[in-house]
Structure 1
Amino acid sequence: MARAGYGGSAVLRLLIGVLALLLALRAPGAQPDVSGAFGAVARVPGGVVLLGLVAIGEAALAVWLVVAGILSSSSHTLERWRQRLVYWGRAVFYGVVATTAARFALGAHENSARSEHRAERHLLDAPGGPVVLALLGATVLVVGVGMVWVGGSLRFRRTIHVPASRGRRRCVLVVGAVGYVVRGITLAVVGVLVAGGAFTDDPHRSDGLAGALDWLAADPVGRIVLALLGAGWIVSAVYSALRIRIARLG
C-alpha cells in the first residue's frame, strides 16, 4: 500500500513541478493552483484514469501511515507518540490529496481558489482567527525548515535502503537531498505567506501552495526561483518513484 502511494506521490510532484515551470515561462492558461492542474489533467484523454490511480495510491499510503502510527513500538512513551503524530499528520495530508484527486476524477469542477478565499476570509474575520492563521503559517514554516535540514544532512537515509553501488548510492542521495530541500523551501515560502496574510488581513496571501506560486510568478527574479523550484519538484518526483523500490517500511 505504501509503495503504491509513493507512485501516486511521484505523479503529484511531477504535476507541481510542471505547473511551476509553466508559470515561470508565463505559459498561456497556466494557473497557480494545484487543483486547477488536477482539472486540466482530468480534461485530457486518459487523465481521469491517471487521477484515479493517484487517488488510490495516496489513499493507500494514508491508510498505511495510520496503521504504522498505531503499531509504533518505541519503548519511550513520548517518542512513541511523537512518531504517531508524525505518521498521522502525513496521513491527513495524503488523505486530502487522495480526496482532491478523486473529486476531479469523478467530474468535480469546483473553483477551489474561490472556496479557499471564502474560508480564509471567514477565518480572518473570526475572533482569534488571525492568531490561528499566524500559528498555522509558523507551523508550516518550521516543517519546511525541518525538511531542508533533513535533505541537507541526508537524514532521509534512515527511511530507504541505500544502494551498495557507489554510483547508484550517490545518485539516490543527491536526488533525495534535492527533493527534500526544494520541498522544504516551498513549504517555508508558503508558511511565510500564510503568516503574512494573518498580519496584513489579506486572504490572497494565505492561499497555500497556489499563493506561493502566484507570488513568485509575479516578479522576474521570482520566476527564476520558480523555475528552479519546478525543476526541483520534478527531481523530487523521481525520488518518490525510486522509493517504490528502495523505501524502508519494516
Structure 2
Amino acid sequence: MQSNSCNSSLSADAILRHLGPLAGEFGLQVRAECASTNSELMDAPPADDGRVHVVVAERQTAGRGRRGRQWQSWSGGSLTFSSLWRFAPGAPVPAGLSLVAGLAVVRALEKLGVQGLQLKWPNDVLVNGSKLAGILVELQPGRGRTPAAVVGIGINLRLPDDAYIPDQPAVTDLARQLDLVPAPEALLASVLTELHILFDTYAAAGFAALRGAWQQRNAFADLPVRISGEGTDVVGICTGVDEDGALLVRTEQGLERILSGEVSLRAAQ
C-alpha cells in the first residue's frame, strides 16, 4: 500500500481506498507535475517488488503520445498516469497489449454510465467519434526473461474552452458525457482495477480471449478506412482485428494485416 505524494491535490490515500482489496497490488507515486509519467517509469523503473507501480500527475509538461506527438494536459482538466506491468516469462507481450488497455479504459467508463464509447485501433478511446482518452504503451528493455511494459493513459476530464489538441479535429471530455464527473482518484482506481483484471486474462490466454470484446466497440467496424504512415496508403474496409491485435483491412488486393503502431487510421474520404 506504500504511496508517495508530492504536494498534489490528488490524494494517494483516496486512490488506495477506492482500490479496496487490490490496494496492496499497487505502488503509487502522486505528483502535482512532472515532465512525463511514462518517462518517469521508463527512465528509472522501480525494483520488482511484486506490485504494479503507478505514477499519476495532475499536469505533464512534456507528455508523450504516439508517433512523437505531445499529449496535452491541464491541471484539473485531465487524468494522466502510467503503470509498469511485469508479466511472467512466456506471456504474449506485446501482441494486442494497447488494445487490451483501451478495453480496460472503456469498461471502467461504461460502468460510470458513459454512452457511445468506441475503440480506435490501436490506442484511442472515442465517444461517438470524438477522442476522450489516449494510450501509449512502451516496452521496457529486456531484464532477464520477464517482459515488462509501461502503459500510459490520459483521459480528458474537463477541457478548458480554449484547449487546442493538434491533429485531433474532434475531442470531448467527461464533463460533456456525464452530469457528474467522478473524482480523479475514483476514476484512476476503476481503470487500474480493470487493467488488473484484463491483463491477468491477457497473460494467461493472450489477446484472442479479449478480441470479441474489442470488436464489439470497434469505431471503424465495416467502414472504409485509410491507413497512412508507412510510405504508401492502404485503403479498404475495416474488418476488425486479428488474434494478435493486428488491424484487418479488406482491400482490392485481398485482406491485409496492419501490424505497425506507427500508422494513422482515419475514415476514408
TM-score normalised by the chain length of structure 2? 0.26
Tell which has more relative contact order, 1 or 2 (C-alpha 8 A, sep 6+): 1
TM-score by length of 1: 0.28
Q: Higher strand proportion, which one?
A: 2
Greater fraction helix: 1
